[in-house]
Amino acid sequence: MAAPLTNWPPELPQAQLSALTLLATTYALSHGLVYLPVAQEQPPAPTSVIHAPLALFPSPIPRRLFELAKRLQRIYNVLYARVAMDADFLDQVMGEEQGVGKVDEFTGQLWRRWRQLRDEGVAQPLQLGLFRSDYLLHAPSNGEPVSLKQVEFNTISSSFGALSERSADLHKYLYRSTGYYDTSPYLKEDNLPPNRTIAGLAEGLAEAHKAYNAPNTRILIVVQNGERNVFDQRWLEYELLEKHSVKVVRQTFDELATSARVDPSTRVLTLALAPGLILPDGAARVEISVVYFRAGYTPVDYPTPAHYDTRALLERSRAIQCPSIPLQLAGGKKVQEVLTRPGVLERFLGDAADADRALLRASWMRMWGLDADADGGVAAARAQAHGLVLKPQREGGGNNVYKEAIPPFLDALPPTERAAWIAMELIVPPEGLGNYLVRAGGGTDGAVKADVVSELGIFGWALFGGQDSEVREKEIGWLVRTKGKDSNEGGVAAGFSVLDSIVLV
């Protein structure tokens, strides 16, 4: 293993650490690497921000594994597009009759709406995915070389694309302005890879907008009430407007419940704009080309059945969904597990090179369903609990059950609910890595040194579903989130980790 993977970051005297922290937080605030502050209630027009939690040094990733992750993304883009287009498969795995939807209320609600939409006839065959595939470095103590293992594949609300670009730029700025005090031969410009995720994500949205092909339309971003990570979304809006001349409108499910209308004959989706946003020609409604969900990935976003109906209304239209309900279902942890079973990858990527399928397989940890008979299901999960994580069909962090918490959890889990959970072997990240973590409110002496684990995410987009069955796709950038070694979970929004970037080693 390369030296810096075991001895990182360089040791800095307090004075240099304080200087770096001042430069970092000032840069973050100047460049929109920011969040809304925690407040009981956000004012409608914000008056202040805090910098996002950040790492002072980039984290080491072997160059060959970074290149591998980018290569894998192109294959995953196609794989998940094809899963989303395979209704039989999704019915079987996620449906209410045979699959997870039978026992998981959230999955069932989404699947039922989708089935009804299929019965009515889907108005828009095209779908857009803005994906993020997440990985940890795997360095088991058995002497195997360090490898790349997939944590999960996100098909909805894949966030931190914009802020990860800013944090990569932050580290480049710290390097250029201080040389990182010449503390490591690895800290040089060639080892800090570019990250242009904002342009990439906006390009995906703009391509879908173009494919919709109608004048005077806008992209709708469906947002959560009280979202604090709004700047990560706003950067995409500015890019769409400045580079693609595409306007955006943001609304919550609650607003959409009264503003959204789908014309029954043309299936055109229009929204009533807020009073202040009435168009110059006096039109109070605007047609939507693409619906981009930064909400709707968690049951919390659907407090009533009417909220699911609003989701279904949007999908009943000819607006291109990002993601569609089937693409959201394709991102379920259950699908990730089923893909590892014999023959399933061939179903979707039978035309791919053997080498490509082998690369995907090599990126997987062992997984099984808690309801499985053949692989031991619950019994195997009990026996191997110390090396496992259990996952339900949820997104956004904080839902998993780890190690010693597994046996008591299994004691309490009704057997009927086992089908909603998968067991996954724990990835073993390299030891000996640290970083200086800076959270808002810490002051210039507030950088905290910690032993850390870094999670690499690769972004991609895919536009698919047209008659030619072609999947247009691209790998577009990356994210590194770094967390304290002793935290099981890793979400930035959930407060577990900080934004980071890469130094190639």
Which of ligand ADP, Mg ion, none has residue 237 at its interface (CB below 5 to 8 Å by kind)?
none
Q: Round to the nearest angstrom and report the end-to-end CA distance of the chain.
A: 10
Q: Among residues 437, 440, 447, which one has the least CA distance to residue 487?
A: 437
CA-to-CA distance for 84 and 324, rounded, in angstroms? Answer: 8
Site for Mg ion in 135-194 (CB under 5 A): 152, 154
Residue 174 burial (CB count, 10 A): 20
Catalytic residue among 133, 154, 259, 317: 154
CA-to-CA distance for 84 and 392, rounded, in angstroms? Answer: 20
**Residue 152 or 337: which CB sits closer to Mg ion?**
152
Binding site for ligand ADP (CB under 6 A): 134, 136, 151-152, 365, 389, 391, 394-397, 399-400, 424, 426-427, 455, 488-491
CA-to-CA distance for 489 and 270, rounded, in angstroms? Answer: 39
| Block residue for tokens 């192109």 | 74
Which of ligand ADP, Mg ion, none has residue 391 at its interface (CB below 5 to 8 Å by kind)?
ligand ADP
Which of Mg ion, ligand ADP, none has residue 147 at its interface (CB below 5 to 8 Å by kind)?
none
152 annotated active-site: yes
**Residue 396 or 446: which CB sits closer to ligand ADP?**
396
- Is 162 labelled a binding residue? no
CA-to-CA distance for 19 and 445, rounded, in angstroms? Answer: 9
Which of Mg ion, ligand ADP, none has residue 298 at its interface (CB below 5 to 8 Å by kind)?
none
Residue 404 burial (CB count, 10 A): 10
Q: Are 463 and 209 in contact (CB under 8 A)?
A: no
Can you tell me which of 207, 395, 473, 475 binds Mg ion, judged by CB under 5 A? 395
Residue 438: what are its φ and ψ, rounded to 5°? -120, 120
CA-to-CA distance for 89 and 75, rounded, in angstroms? Answer: 19
- Nearest approach in angstroms of CB 335 to Mg ion is 12
Catalytic residue among 82, 218, 311, 391: 391
Catalytic residue among 82, 99, 101, 132: 132
**Residue 358 or 494: which CB sits closer to Mg ion?**
494
Catalytic residue among 165, 395, 473, 475: 395
420 three-class SS? helix
**Residue 316 or 394: which CB sits closer to ligand ADP?**
394
CA-to-CA distance for 209 and 126, rounded, in angstroms? Answer: 11
CA-to-CA distance for 26 and 214, rounded, in angstroms? Answer: 43
CA-to-CA distance for 438 and 443, rounded, in angstroms? Answer: 9
- Is 403 labelled a binding residue? no
Which of Mg ion, ligand ADP, none has residue 426 at its interface (CB below 5 to 8 Å by kind)?
ligand ADP
| Enzyme catalytic residues | 132, 152, 154, 159, 333, 391, 395-396, 481
Binding interface with Mg ion (CB under 5 A): 152, 154, 395
Q: Please enumerate, by residue number, every residue annotated as part of a binding site.
A: 132, 152, 154, 156-159, 227-229, 233, 294-297, 333, 391-400, 402, 424-427, 455, 481, 483, 489, 492-493
